[in-house]
Amino acid sequence: MLLSALLTGLVLGGTYALIAMGLTLQYGVARIMNLAYGDFMIAAAFGAFVLFTSLGINPLLGMIAVIPAGFALSYAIYGVMLQPLARRAKHSGRLEVDSILATFGLLFVIQGVALVIFGANFVSYSYLAIPINILGTTLAANRVLALVLALALGAGLYYALTHTRWGTAIRAVAVSPQAAPLVGIDVDRVSRFAFALGGALAASGGVVVSMYLTFSATAGVVFTMKALVVVIMGGVGNLLGALAAGLILGIVETLVATYIDTGLTLAATYLIFLAILVFRPSGLFGRRPS
Amino acid sequence: MTRALWLALVIAAVAVAVLAYMPSQLGPYPLGLMIGIMSYVVLATAWAMFSGPTRYISLATVAFFGLGAYTVAVLGDYLPYPLVLACAGLVGLVVALIVGVFTLRLAGVYFVVFTFGLTELIRQVVTWYEVNVTRTLGRYIFLDITTEQIYWQLLGLAVITIGIAFWVRRSRIGLALRVIGDDEVVAAHSGINIPATKIALFGVSSMIMALAGAIQSPRWTYIEPSIVFNPTISFLTVIMALLGGANRLWGPLLGAVPLFLLFEWLSAHFPNHYSIILGLLFIAIVFALPNGVLAFGEGLWQRLRRREAHS
């Protein structure tokens, strides 16, 4: 029981880590607090759902279509909606307020479109629902695949950010948007790219979620919330922090669901969040503000 | 008091008297509309009282609204009505103080994130409690309160809310709040107790929201978490306050009246596309009127006068 709970928690945590990485890119680099993030994810999950149920395309292949779509859509949204706000803002506080409000509106637009097309019901599809035996407990193959995918995408992103030229540019903007132009970095372009990359990660997270969870048009809020908690827990802009925090959150939630009650998982998330706010507001691995 | 203030008070008293007299002239449907407008005037004014000057955006209006309504549903049969209302306000205040103590000491973004999920959290916890402990999901409210009485109570609450907002703007705490919103470092150096000021005002604003929910709850007769914790209410409150201008006393009222009527019309004619239109409208307001209609109008007026002075 404990081992199976831990494994399930690890799968869930891997997904949380994946989506939190995208959000930490958007918030840490582009300085956009995206409240519509979870709804982006759900849109991608519906995309994978449609591809699978009506065209019979499996979600792994579906990803090849959905992830670039997520990237392109986020790129366009940043250019049309958020870049003007970023240019208008005289200081970062103003941008924060404006971006929160604008993406809050966007949340209702995306959710509304999803409700019109798919209705309010929970949906899921059955892909690779074959039991696999791991260390004496069984786990559905789609969950194992979800974990592998989350880890592969996360590791790939981490490698790209730490070992390539544009990855270095992104990290430079995350550390100091004021100083980055001094070394010839176009902050506008990098921000836009980072926001779009975050959108691509949201899309991949959505596809991963659709493989093993049921979801509905209004489920985005909870995912945004959890991703935000993981981002704050790991420290804003910290990818490895997001990975660790995501895994912790996934395991804690599954343990609460297994041993206490499924209805209290969000309460558990909030308890962790409160503890972080009280003891380590700069994140588990963040430095204390001087 | 100055003469202008006396005049304003007389006009306000006449307006309230006219509004209080209206139910006898209206049918049930217009009265329902008036109740909706009153409710959003209260919510938007209470929201702007805290979020306007501090720029701490609260996305949890309906969490307090719903808690107020639920308190009435739970206690309505056991306590006299005024006491029930007092309890509802108290519940809102206590929850706001807990949230405030944890989040308002930190940067604004933690507060936003916390309030963003707070409604969902309270909804899930109430659902869990009802299913597992009381074993009944959904409650009935049978209170002997007429629609007119609900309207008068809301009108009273609106007058009190605007009165508090007026007083806060002119008092030391309002000035402190504006300094905090402009620059926290300056505020700290002028000896303002930042967390206490923010928490106090957030508490008052949340208490008013809880009362608004409590007063309206007898209209529903049957309530359950998914009805009273409807996130659209939080959304509407923010958009109304922003449209009118969250930094003006009359801004939220000015935003609430036309937008409520517009939403009423939209939900009747476009029930399925309602939230898409709302979202687009919201984005448009953030873009075109970041400081609200009143500030926009004042800016326009000043520009016109300057041009006249030049010519």
The fraction of chain B above a pLDDT of 90, given in percent, is 13
Q: Which residue of A has its CA nearest to B275?
A: A112
**Subunit contact A111:B282, Cβ cutoff 8 A:** no
pTM score over 0.80:
yes
**To the nearest whole angstrom, how far is the Cα of A243 from the nearest Cα of chain B?**
20
Residue B1: the pLDDT is: 59
CB contact under 8 A, A108 and B103: no
Q: B236 to chain A: nearest residue by CA?
A: A105
Nearest CA in chain B to A224: B117
Q: Which chain A residues are within 8 Å of B121, Cβ to Cβ?
A: 266-267, 270
Q: Which residue of A has its CA nearest to B291?
A: A98
| SS3 (DSSP) at B136 | coil
Q: How far apart are CA B176 and CA B184, in angstroms?
A: 10
Q: B235–A108: do the CB atoms touch at under 8 Å? A: yes
Written as one letter, the residue type at B270 is F
Going along chain A from its start, the domains and CATH numbers come out as 2-279 (1.10.3470)
Average pLDDT for A253-263: 83
Using CB atoms, pick whichever of B117, B132, B282 lies closest to residue A108: B282
A136-186 residue pLDDT tens: 777 777 788 888 888 888 888 888 888 888 888 888 888 877 888 788 788
Cα(A227)–Cα(B94) distance, integer angstroms: 28
Helices vs. strands in chain A: H and E counts, helices first: 11, 2
Q: Which residue has the tokens 């103080």?
A: B97
Residue A148 to chain B, least CA–CA distance (Å)? 29
Closest partner residue to A108 (CB to CB) among B108, B278, B290 is B278
Tokens of A268: 């558990």
What number is the average pLDDT over the span B167-178?
84
CA-based nearest residue to A200, from A69, A110, A24:
A69
Say how far apart CA A95 and CA A54 lie, in whole Å: 41
Length of chain B equals 311
Distance from CA of B199 to the nearest CA of A (A): 16
- Which pLDDT band, with edges at 50, 70 and 90, does A289 fall under? very low
Please tell me the predicted confidence (pLDDT) of residue B64. Answer: 93
Chain centroid to CA B120: how far?
Answer: 18
CB contact under 8 A, B109 and A101: no
CB atoms within 10 A of CB B138: 12
- Chain A residues with CB under 8 Å of a chain B CB are 33, 35, 81, 84-85, 93, 96-98, 100-102, 104-113, 115-116, 221-222, 224-225, 228-229, 232, 261, 263-264, 266-267, 269-270, 273-274, 277-278, 281
In this complex, do B120 and A222 lie within 8 Å of one another by their Cβ atoms?
yes
More confident residue, A149 or A285: A149
Asked if B203 and B36 count as a contact pair (C-beta separation under 8 A), the reply is no
Q: What is d(CA A52, CA A47) in angstroms, rounded to the nearest whole number?
A: 9
Strand partners, A138: A133
The complex's ipTM?
Answer: 0.80
Alpha-carbon gap: B21 to the closest alpha carbon of chain A (Å): 38
Burial of B113 per CB tally in 10 Å (0-12, 13-18, 19+): buried
Q: What is the architecture, at CATH level 2, of domain B3-310?
A: Orthogonal Bundle (1.10)
- Burial code (b: 16+ CB inside 10 Å, e: under 16) for A272-290 equals bbeebbeeebebbebeeee
- The answer to whether A226 and A269 are in contact (CB under 8 A) is yes
Q: How far does A144 lie from chain B, in Å, by closest CA?
A: 29
Strand, coil or helix: B303:
helix
Amino acid at A112: G
Q: Answer whether B132's CB lies under 8 Å from A261's CB.
A: yes
Q: Identify from A95, A108, A256, A270 which residue to disrupt to test chain B contact, counting B C-beta atoms within 10 A and taking the largest count.
A: A108
How many helices and strands, by DSSP H and E, does chain B display?
14, 2
The per-residue pLDDT of chain A, averaged, comes to 83
Nearest CA in chain A to B287: A85
- Label the pairing between strands A137-140 and A131-134: antiparallel
**Does position A247 have pLDDT exceeding 50, yes or no?**
yes
Residues of B with CB under 8 A from a CB of A: 55, 57, 59, 102-103, 106, 108-110, 112-114, 116-117, 120-121, 124-125, 127-128, 131-132, 231, 235, 238, 242, 272-283, 286-287, 290
> Tokens 């990803």, residue?
A63
Cα–Cα distance, B239 to A48 (Å, whole number): 33
Is A5 within 8 Å of A254 (Cβ atoms)?
yes
Q: Select from A33, A109, A269 the Cβ nearest to the Cβ of B279.
A: A109
> A94 to chain B: nearest residue by CA?
B55
Q: What is the DSSP string of A234-267?
A: H-TT-HHHHHHHHHHHHHHHHHHHHHT-GGGHHH
In the three-class reduction of DSSP (H, G, I as helix; E, B as strand; rest coil), residue A140 is classed as strand
Q: Where do we find the tokens 């005289």? A: A90
| CA B199/CA A75 separation, integer angstroms | 39
Both tokens of residue A73? 């859509």
Contact (Cβ atoms closer than 8 angstroms) between residue A168 and residue A177: no
State the sign of the Cα–Cα–Cα–Cα dihedral B296, B205, B61, B86. negative
Q: In this predicted model, which residue has the larger pLDDT, B129 or B210?
A: B210
Closest to B210 (Cα-Cα) out of B99, B55, B129: B99
What is the average pLDDT across A244-249? 88
Give yes or no for a contact between B67 and B210, defined as CB atoms under 8 angstroms apart. yes
Contact list in A for residue B104 (CB cut-off 8 A) is: none
In chain A, whose CA is at the least distance from the CA of B101? Answer: A278
> How large is the average pLDDT for residues B1-29?
81
Strand partners, B223: B139
Q: How distant, in Å, are the alpha carbons of A63, A274, B34 from that of B254?
A: 47, 37, 14
Domains in chain B: boundaries: 3-310
Give me the residues paired with residue B140 across strands. B222
- The residue among B59, B242, B281, B283 with the most chain A CBs within 10 A of its CB, best to mutate, is B283
d(CA B271, CA B278): 11
Backbone angles phi, psi at B136, to 5 degrees: -135, 120
Q: What angle do CA A170, A176, A180 make, to 5 degrees?
A: 65
d(C-alpha B36, C-alpha B264), whole Å: 9
Q: Of A204-208, A215-219, B189-193, B218-222, where does the model show the most confidence? A: A204-208
Q: Average pLDDT, stretch A81-109?
A: 82
| pLDDT, tens only, B244-287 | 887 788 888 888 888 888 888 888 888 888 888 888 888 888 88
Select from A104, A221, A262 the residue whose CB has the most chain B CBs within 10 Å, as the one to mutate to test that interface: A104
